[in-house]
Every structure is written in C-alpha cells, then in structure tokens.
Amino acid sequence: MNKQLFGRMPDGTPVELFSVNAGKIEAQFTAFGAGIVSLLAPDRNGTRDDIALGYPDLNGYLQNHGSKAPFFFGSSIGRYANRIAHARFSLDGKQYTLFKNNGENSLHGGPGGFHNVLWDAEPEENGVTFRYQSKDGEEGFPGNLKTMVRYTLTREELKIEYEASSDKATVLNLTNHTYFNLAGAGRGTILAHRLKLRASRFTPVDTGLIPTGELRVVAGTPMDFRQSMEIGARINANDEQLQLGHGYDHNFVLDDGSTNLKPAAELHDASSGRFLEIWTTEPAIQFYSGNFLDGSARGKNGAVYSKHSGLCLETQHFPDSPNHPEFPSTVLRPGETFRSATVLKFGVR
C-alpha cells in the first residue's frame, strides 16, 4: 500500500490516491466517491494494462460528477443505485421526494449521491476502507446512514464489502460503477467481449428505463446470455428493450437469489486473453454497455471514451424496488445492519 496526492477539493482539502499491488493485479482507489481509479491486470503474455475507465486526476472526477450527465467512473453508488421512478417513494405511510437527475427519475442517489462526496479513508496493508455518514434528508432520503465500503486486493481477486446502518427506516441499494474494457481502457470498444450471465430472467423497462414490474424470461431474446455470447452480436437487433436502452442497460435477475456469495457473470476478451468473474451476495446485476459514453470524456493517457468503450456489471438489488413491493426489499430499519459483498476474480485464458 502506498499513497500520493490525487488532487484537492474546491475548498482545498487534499484527496489522496491509494495504490495496492498484489503481484499480478494492482489497483488504485480514491476517497472521492470511494472509487476505483485503475485496475492493472496482465494479458496472456504477462503484459499489464489498465482495464478500468477513469480520469488521470481528481479534477476529471470533480468536473464530470458536477455535470448534468456524469459517467460515475469507478464510483461507489448510493444511497440508491439505479433508478427510482418519478424521484419519489413511500415508506411506512410517508412519501419521500428525491432529486430528479434523470428526466423525471432519480438516478444513482441523485446529483449529491455517494459518487459525489468525499469519504473518510483508512488505508490497510492490502486495501482501503472508506466511511461516510449521510445525514437525514440528504438527497431526500430518510435517516442518518453510516456506510462503509472496503476494498481488499489479494493475489488475483478484488473484494468489495459494503456495510450500513440507519437510525430511521430508509431504502438502500449500493453498488460499484466501474467501466471495464479487458483489452485496455481506451483501446476500442467492448463489443467483441464475450459475456455470460447466470440469469434466466430480467426486468424489462419502459421509456424512462424504469422496470415495468414484469420478470421476463431471456430465452429467445437478445437478453439471453446464459451461454457466453459476444456483446455486439445482437446489440443492434430489432428489439424494443434494446431500443429503449440504446443498447444493454438492464437489470438481470440471478438464478440464485440467495445472500450466499455465488457466481453472477463472466467476461472474456479473446484479443488479450483476459477474463473477469464476478461473484456477489446480491440478487441481481445490471449490465450496461456504455451506451451514453459520447467521446466527451478524456481519460487516463488522453484516451477518448466513446460509445461502448467500456461496460458496467453492477451487482445490486432491483431498480425502483421501493415502488415495487413484489421485488426483493431494499428497506433498512434501525437496529439492522446491511451487509453485501462482491468479488472480482481476474485471470487469462
């Protein structure tokens, strides 16, 4: 573990970059957004490359996260990952109004969500723990919420652990928003990557990308990734869901919905040989194919991130669950402790 200055907040507060080297894999993290800045992984020839999209310094994150359409590169997402319809929900008979930052909806906790705040950092031998206290009413959510995100890098695995508690009943959905390109960040698109999802159903969306409430089978549709499939093979198919999402931007319901740590996704890039396995305790995973990357973001080493230059695999509970009582509950009550874990396993083949 070592650290260096990554930049300064507008008020002059220094923000550090934490680097952890586990041999084959090296990762960098920042307290702004409790985010992953880079992931260095070897290809089949042993050449390491950065496979996570992001910015070279803090200024890139500050500017983008302050914009109307942030990309959330590598950030921890909360209080509520994904979308909440009409930026409102009811809990125990009381209605709460959130900030609208995605049309009529709230996305990823609102403009002042966890991606856009400075966390407290506690460096450790092989990782770093970030803590943040979200005040009652922040972005419209109830309860004083204490949240922890811990990154631990060992050998060829990166473990992300989440823990949270609240003094009032609230809703919570935490994830990480890293964009992966296993060929190397800034090296073309992810359309030739092959993806496998352990999901026989997904939640179809309406024009606002809000779940309709249906759990639809993937069989016979372009959403079927039960067998490894090239991402670009069907992304332009004449399919209503792909048209609504401008590509893949959908929540997949894992066949194993338990809280056990289980495999959820496998991603492989034949050009480099790199593969990534994702294990999680969550019941679902959002597959987003980088549809709204538009070339406006200039990342590390001057890379231009255009459409489909990275993809996200966000382990999570379902979008808009507070407005869908039939979905797995995201309610966190006083006296309870929310815990979740996701493991990224890297390798070559």
Give the CA angle between residues 30, 31, 33 to the nearest 5°.
Answer: 95
**Residue at token pair 């950092």:** 121
324 is catalytic: no
Tell me the residue ranges of DSSP E strands in 167-261. 170-171, 175-176, 194-197, 201-203, 216-217, 229-230, 249-253
CA distances in angstroms from 86 to 5, 68, 95, 99, listed in the order given? 40, 17, 12, 9
Catalytic residue among 65, 108, 115, 177: 177
CB 29 within 8 A of CB 37: yes
Strand-by-strand arrangement of the 35-42 sheet: 2-8, 14-21, 26-30, 35-42, 48-50
Tell me the residue ranges of DSSP E strands in 22-109. 26-30, 35-42, 48-50, 76-77, 83-84, 88-91, 94-97, 106-107
108 is catalytic: no
- Counting other chains too, the contacts that 129-133 makes at CB distance below 8 Å and 24 or more residues apart are 130/29, 130/31, 130/34, 130/76, 132/34
DSSP string, 106-169: EETT-TTSGGGSBPEEEEETTEEEEEEEEPTTGGG--S-EEEEEEEEEETTEEEEEEEEEESS-
CB 241 within 8 A of CB 223: yes
Could you give the maximum distance between any two Cα atoms of the chain, in Å?
59
**Residue at token pair 């770093």:** 128
Catalytic residue among 138, 277, 314, 324: 314
CA distance 27 to 45: 20
Active site residues per annotation? 177, 314
